[in-house]
Amino acid sequence: MSKPMQILQLNMQKRREVQHSLMNDASLENYVALIISEPYVFEMDGKVRASPMGHQSWTAILPSERHDGRWAVRIMLWVRKDIECEQVIVPSADLSGSAATAG
Taking only the tens place, the pLDDT of each residue in 59-95 is 999 998 888 877 889 999 999 999 988 888 888 878 7
The pLDDT value recorded for residue 88 is 85
Q: In the Cβ-directed half-sphere of 97, how many Cα atoms lie within 13 Å?
A: 7
- 0.75 surpassed by pTM: yes
Neighbours of 27 (CB within 10 A): 6
Give the pLDDT confidence of 4-63 residue by residue, as tens digits: 889 999 999 999 999 999 989 999 999 999 999 999 999 899 889 999 988 999 999 999
Q: Does residue 99 surpass a pLDDT of 70?
A: no
CB 52 within 8 A of CB 23: yes
Q: Domain coordinates of the chain in residue numbers?
A: 7-101
